[in-house]
């Protein structure tokens, strides 16, 4: 039934927390099990010496009286009904001494928010998690076995032990963890684990058993449980997929990898963001056959002067590209916001930051350059109050946010304030040169799979559109990394990854790589 540090016990009666009858301020350990206790008892706050609390199989639904948790070092709430999300979200905000937290068997669909920095061990096994962003926590030990996790992304700078046994993992391509020592991914759907040692350089133990690995030597080593054989196979061996695809044909390799440096504040508002660069093999993105006079011709179009065939073709391609972007936005930009920018107008690196307000020059909502810069909140308020604005929902979503997440370049130029509008300063035009920078973000999705899918869809549309416009023209893709501002070695996302690059259409006149 229940125990305390003074070994007191009692039976259930009218009081749903009978264990408290035998407790005093000096009680350090309290274990409660069974019964129906939908919320914590206010009397727990009086146990000022309490350091370990277990409430198990008690049908616990909420953690409203969370002040009683603030002195705890160890908390076990296994096998309750706290899911699909911990309520309230701020339940663990003041738990500055908490070292271990057990939330297994609660029907959770996401990790709890506002976990304390003191937390070292988190157990979320036997829940309903479908994705895991390791960068959302700063813990040392994470147990997430027996969930439905299909992908794990990001990186945690302190994480040393990770257990993902019995999930639905098919790739580790988006995961990197510099301090990881112990990784258990047994009984998943992993076919290959390329570059795992490079992404986790300090790893000392790996369990890959029960996965359909295509590298036979690696599969045998995993089944045998021999660490030496397993690490030898990882260092020397190549999976079949690696042997067939040494490098994705559409990968563009420039110089230094381009990065977006993201702040915690911005990620708390719009947590899912990916980016990449489209490169075309012609001087102008939208006019492959244009000569040096093309830029001047574009200026004539504003004066309604007849223009040549190059300009007409560029206008058609430009309009079709924007139409594809609009279709992918979804109604009211509820699912994702897409931004496209002229690469030559951007100074790298970019920063993804948050502020109470920001002035910029929007291109949405009929705003004209002559009106000048405007407060993003004022611009959103005007759109929200309008009768016919297609951006009304996006404007209301922005106004409801505590701060405004936005993208800014190294010169301080604002690129976009999602989900509302891109900026005039970096807009794509008919005479855009060198390439197009693409960014996709979302606030309400469970993970980054939707923003990745939207970006990949736009890449496919762009490749088809640009390459059909002119024979022999090719489109390449330059991946962009999103990293954390507090530690730029930690990867939040990288898009597109190798598998996504390989899924793109083949280069013109080249055979499609076979998986």
Question: For 34-69, what is each residue's pLDDT tens digit?
Answer: 989 999 888 888 888 999 999 999 999 998 877 778
Whether 452 is in a domain gets the answer yes
Whether 488 is in a domain gets the answer yes
Q: Look up residue 492 and give its two tokens.
A: 């939040």
Whether 386 is in a domain gets the answer yes
Q: How does residue 332 score in pLDDT terms, banded at 50, 70 and 90?
A: low
Q: What is the pLDDT of residue 51?
A: 92
Q: What is the pLDDT of residue 274?
A: 94
d(CA 105, CA 201): 32
d(CA 310, CA 291): 9
d(CA 19, CA 56): 13
Burial 169-191 (b: 16+ CB within 10 A, else e): bbbbbbbbbbbbeebbbbbbebb
Q: What is the pLDDT of residue 305?
A: 54
- The arithmetic mean of pLDDT across residues 104-121, rounded, is 90
Long-range contacts: 122-130, Cβ < 8 Å, 24+? 123/78, 125/163, 127/83, 127/103, 128/83, 128/84, 130/446, 130/447
Averaged confidence pLDDT in the chain: 84
Q: How many CB atoms lie within 10 A of CB 90?
A: 13
Whether 202 is in a domain gets the answer no
Whether 307 is in a domain gets the answer yes
The CATH code of the domain that includes 375 is 3.50.40.10
Burial 264-288 (b: 16+ CB within 10 A, else e): eebbbbbbbbbbbbbbbebbbbbbb
Q: Between 302 and 253, name the one with better pLDDT.
A: 253
Q: What is the pLDDT of residue 410?
A: 95
Q: What is the pLDDT of residue 32?
A: 93
For the chain, the domain total comes to 1
For residue range 388-440, list pLDDT tens digits in order.
567 888 888 899 999 999 999 999 999 999 998 889 999 998 889 889 999 99
Sheet strands (E) in 185-297: 205-207, 259-262, 272-280
Closest CA to 333 of 378, 282, 270: 270
- Residue 335 belongs to what domain range? 259-502
Give yes or no for residue 7 having a pLDDT over 60. Answer: no
Q: How does residue 270 score in pLDDT terms, banded at 50, 70 and 90?
A: very high
Give yes or no for residue 331 having a pLDDT over 70. Answer: no
Whether 204 is in a domain gets the answer no
| Range in 12-21, 75-84, 129-138, 247-256 with the lowest mean pLDDT | 12-21
| Range in 61-65, 297-301, 342-346, 501-505 with the lowest mean pLDDT | 297-301
Q: pTM for this structure?
A: 0.63
Q: What is the pLDDT of residue 372?
A: 82
Whether 440 is in a domain gets the answer yes
Whether 301 is in a domain gets the answer yes
d(CA 397, CA 270): 11
- The arithmetic mean of pLDDT across residues 2-7, rounded, is 40
Q: How many CB atoms lie within 10 A of CB 166?
A: 19
Closest CA to 187 of 204, 207, 203, 216: 207
């Amino acid at each position: 039934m229940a125990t305390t540090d003074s070994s007191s016990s009692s039976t259930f009666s009218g009081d749903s927390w009978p264990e408290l009858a035998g407790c005093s301020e000096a009680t350090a350990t309290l274990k409660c099990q069974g019964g129906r206790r939908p919320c914590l008892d206010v009397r727990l706050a009086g146990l000022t010496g309490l350091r370990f609390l277990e409430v198990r199989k008690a049908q616990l639904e909420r953690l409203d009286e969370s002040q009683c948790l603030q002195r705890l070092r160890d908390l076990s709430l296994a096998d309750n009904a706290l899911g699909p999300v911990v309520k309230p979200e701020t339940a663990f905000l003041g738990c500055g001494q908490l070292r271990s937290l057990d939330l297994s068997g609660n029907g959770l669909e996401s990790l709890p928010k506002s976990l304390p920095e003191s937390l070292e061990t988190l157990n979320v096994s036997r829940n309903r998690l479908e994705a895991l962003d390791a960068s959302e926590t700063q813990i040392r030990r994470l147990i997430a076995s027996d969930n439905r996790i299909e992908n794990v992304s990001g990186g945690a700078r302190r994480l040393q032990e990770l257990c993902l046994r019995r999930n639905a993992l098919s790739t580790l391509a988006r995961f990197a963890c510099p301090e990881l020592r112990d990784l258990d991914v047994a009984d998943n759907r992993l076919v290959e684990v390329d570059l795992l040692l490079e992404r986790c350089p300090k790893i000392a133990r790996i369990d890959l058993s029960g996965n359909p690995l295509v590298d036979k030597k690696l599969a045998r080593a995993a089944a045998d449980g021999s660490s030496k054989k397993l690490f030898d196979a990882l260092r020397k061996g190549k999976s079949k997929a690696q042997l067939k695809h040494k490098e994705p044909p559409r990968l563009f390799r420039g110089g230094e990898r381009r990065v977006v440096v993201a702040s915690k504040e911005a990620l708390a508002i719009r947590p899912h963001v990916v980016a990449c660069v489209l490169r075309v093999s012609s001087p102008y993105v939208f006019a492959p056959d244009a000569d040096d006079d093309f830029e001047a011709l574009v200026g004539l179009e504003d004066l309604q002067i007849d223009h040549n065939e190059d300009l007409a073709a560029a206008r058609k391609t430009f309009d079709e590209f924007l139409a594809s972007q609009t279709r992918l936005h979804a109604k009211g930009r509820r699912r994702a916001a897409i931004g496209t920018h002229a690469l030559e107008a951007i100074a790298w690196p970019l920063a993804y930051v948050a502020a109470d307000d920001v002035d910029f020059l929007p291109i949405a909502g009929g705003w004209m350059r002559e009106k000048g810069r405007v407060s993003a909140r004022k611009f959103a308020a005007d759109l929200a109050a309008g009768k016919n604005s297609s951006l009304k929902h996006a404007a209301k979503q922005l106004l409801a946010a505590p701060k405004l997440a936005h993208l800014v370049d190294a010169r301080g130029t604002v690129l976009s304030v999602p989900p509302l509008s891109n900026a005039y300063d970096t807009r794509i035009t008919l005479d855009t040169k060198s390439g197009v920078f693409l960014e996709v973000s979302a606030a309400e999705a469970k993970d980054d799979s939707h923003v990745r899918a939207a970006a990949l869809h736009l890449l496919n549309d762009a490749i088809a559109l640009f390459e059909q416009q002119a024979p022999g023209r090719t489109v390449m893709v330059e991946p962009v990394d999103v990293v954390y501002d507090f530690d730029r070695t930690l990867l939040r996302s990288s898009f597109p990854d190798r598998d996504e690059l390989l899924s793109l259409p083949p280069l013109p006149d080249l055979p499609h790589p076979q998986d």
